[in-house]
Chain A
Amino acid sequence: MLSVYEVTRVAGGKPIVDRVSAKFERGQLSLIIGPNGAGKSTLIKLLSKQLRPDAGTISYDGMDVSGSSHRDLAKIRAVLSQNIEVSFPLRVWEVVMMGRYPHFAGKPGAADERACQEVMQFFDVADMADRDYLSLSGGEKQRVHFARVLAQIWFSVSGRNRYLFLDEPLTFLDIYYQFEFMGKLRELLKMGGLVIVGVVHDLNLAARFADNILLLHEGKVLACGSKTEVLTRENIKTAFRLEPTLVRTDDKSMHLVFE
């Protein structure tokens, strides 16, 4: 379980993330939503320890992350960001193998090879394993990075939970791949021992796939819980300054329509 307690991050004298507390359970897909400038991206960077909080603590299964090195964290925590640029030509499998770097010294072992093969199958990039990464389309590149990031935490290290953070990774994907990727995340959660926390822009995507939603507004938690608890007309209107119409369909999913 990922616990966030009273976490604050200040930039330019202004709190970007302001005394945020939350808990993210394993086996659940937790998505962070909020308007521009609400602190979503900063919060996810704090969770992955790319940024350090000015106050408060973040712990993975009770272990305070401020006390662990990036090297150790990299074995159990992976981050998928948007728009990653690779500056030099590499084969697709070489990019995916980078995900295994925290796990081996010298040459990749059998487990590293197996992890790469399995994630490439899982994300349908096995066919392009030998292609030049730079020759791929934007969507293909992003799928290669999904595979790389998952390779990093494909196997559990001594039975510990693994943490996957998503920093708006769907921004440059079309609707088909957005749904495809969310579906893959649900499949991964079934494997167990995985905590997934992501930032998304699209409220309907959150409504469709999230088990748990955290709504940020001006650096503070405005609401947190299931989609019916969080995605209310009042909450959305406060955060986004637009009043939605909530449409429920028979398969218990929910849509927000703005007019």
Chain B
Amino acid sequence: MPAKPLASPYAGIVPVLAIVLVVIAGFSIRFGAVEIAFGDMVSALRKAWSAPDSLQLTERIFLEIRLPRALACILVGASLAMGGVLMQALFRNPIVEPGLVGTSSGAAFGASLYFVLGAALKFHAGEWTLPIAACLGGAAATALVFLVSATTTANRESTTGLLLIGIAVNALFLSGIGFFSYIARDPQARSITFWNLGTLSGASWRGVLLLGVSTSAGLVVALRHARQLNALMMGEDEALYLGVNVGRLKLTIIAVNVMIVAVATSITGIISFVGLIVPHLLRLMKGSDNRFLLIGGVFVGAILLTLADIVARLVLKPAELPIGIVTAAVGAPVFIALLRGRRYQF
């Protein structure tokens, strides 16, 4: 009897998500203090190549503000979702998000340090200073979590221990941020506040470039390890029997997570819940193959954050709300609803 071919449940979903993303991003760019017609977008793109001097005002708004903002939003959403997929796979736990191992709070701490003491520290790398400070903070906090857990937990592989230490280190760095915003002068304090709430208003082409590099490099490395992460779903012993070098896999995945999350946080500040919810949504849709979760996560993360950005600009129009407030306000109830209807255990 010829057996039925093993049908992949994942076929066909990525093109649909890609189309949805392009449409939503188009509307996000169009909408704002100045409405930009789709025709102007096309002509601006054409002129940017051939005749950059003849750009109209709306075309310049599109090219210099709206487009980099939309792209940054897409890349940050993608990075956070990928970070969520990677951390959940690594910890075999669906309630983990990239910030739990300290990366986001560390990056925000690095940024606040720069806002308050940047001038005094004589640490200058031009426009790159803030991203560098944030990345260093994120890496330092993550390293601290892993060093402490490696030396305190009896079983170094203990996920619960790692998560608890992550909570402690997060609290420590958040108190540091609180300290800086308390001693800060008014404009500095406002920068720190914005950072902790997450905002896309500072997006620039420089940020888009940085995000583009980190997101695509992170995605390539993550995809190469997707199948090993699948094997890890059955536990570390089973992964080892399938030929996975578990120690090296963990280090690689944590390094990728630190890079993509710290860079994203360095551009926008802390944006919560995206990394937590996107993998859930995808698993509910189709299944848990990490290749699918990573690729699908890039699109769904980008779509959700773009929608959140539209909401953030609508609520207090013409002023705008920090996007992290929107993701948390929408994300928390969605998350609770997912937990109540959960199909899997943890």
Contact = CB atoms under 8 A, between A and B. Distances in A.
27 contacts: A48-B241, A69-B243, A70-B243, A70-B244, A73-B243, A77-B241, A81-B237, A81-B238, A85-B234, A87-B344, A87-B345, A87-B346, A88-B283, A89-B344, A90-B287, A90-B288, A93-B6, A94-B230, A98-B242, A101-B231, A101-B243, A102-B243, A113-B6, A116-B6, A121-B3, A129-B6, A134-B345
A78 B238 CA distance: 10
A183 to B, nearest CB: 22
Interface string B225-249: 0011011011101101111110000
Given A87-B233, A101-B231, A121-B3, A71 B289 contact: no
A98 B6 contact: no
B94 interface: yes
A21 B324 CA distance: 63
B47 to A, nearest CB: 42
Given A87-B94, A98-B231, A74 B242 contact: yes
Contact of B6 (A75, A97, A99, A102): A97
B343 A101 contact: no
Contact of A50 (B3, B4, B237, B288): B237
A78 B243 contact: no
A246 interface: no
A123 to B, nearest CB: 13
B287 A94 contact: yes
B227 A90 contact: no
B5 interface: yes
A134 B283 CA distance: 13
A117 interface: yes
4 closest A-B pairs by CB: A74-B243, A88-B288, A117-B3, A71-B243
A126 interface: yes
Interface in B1-52: 3-7, 9
A63 interface: no
A86 interface: yes
Given A98-B230, A117-B3, A134-B343, A74 B241 contact: yes
Contact of A90 (B3, B241, B289): B289
B interface, how many residues as a size bin? Answer: 20 to 34
A186 interface: no
B6 to A, nearest CB: 5
A152 B235 CA distance: 17
Given A86-B233, A116-B6, A121-B3, 13 more contacts: A50-B237, A69-B245, A70-B243, A73-B243, A74-B241, A77-B241, A87-B92, A87-B93, A88-B94, A98-B230, A98-B231, A99-B242, A130-B7
A16 interface: no
A73 B287 CA distance: 29
Contacts of A79: 237, 241
B240 A50 contact: yes
A102 B242 contact: yes
Contact of B283 (A74, A89, A120, A121): A89
A94 to B, nearest CB: 6
Interface in A87-133: 87-91, 93-95, 97-99, 101-102, 113, 116-117, 120-121, 126, 129-130, 132
B4 A88 contact: no
Nearest to A129: B6
Given A88-B94, A89-B283, A121-B3, A70 B343 contact: no
Interface string A126-163: 10011010100000000000000000100000000000
Nearest to B6: A93
Contacts of B344: 87-89, 134
Contact of B287 (A77, A78, A91): A91
A147 B244 CA distance: 19
Interface string B286-306: 011100000000000000000
Interface string B75-108: 0000000000000000011100000000000000
Contacts of B4: 129
B242 A152 contact: yes
A84 interface: yes
Interface in B248-299: 283, 287-289
Nearest to A113: B6
A87 B245 CA distance: 20
A41 to B, nearest CB: 12
Interface in B90-132: 92-94
Contact of A91 (B9, B230, B231, B241): B9
Nearest to B238: A84
B243 A89 contact: no
Contacts of B343: 89, 132, 134
Contacts of B238: 81, 84
A77 B242 CA distance: 9
Nearest to B290: A88
Contacts of B242: 74, 98-99, 101-102, 152
Contacts of B230: 94, 98, 101
Most buried by A among B4, B240, B241, B346: B241
B187 to A, nearest CB: 46
A223 to B, nearest CB: 29
B243 A113 contact: no
Contact of A94 (B235, B240, B243, B289): B289
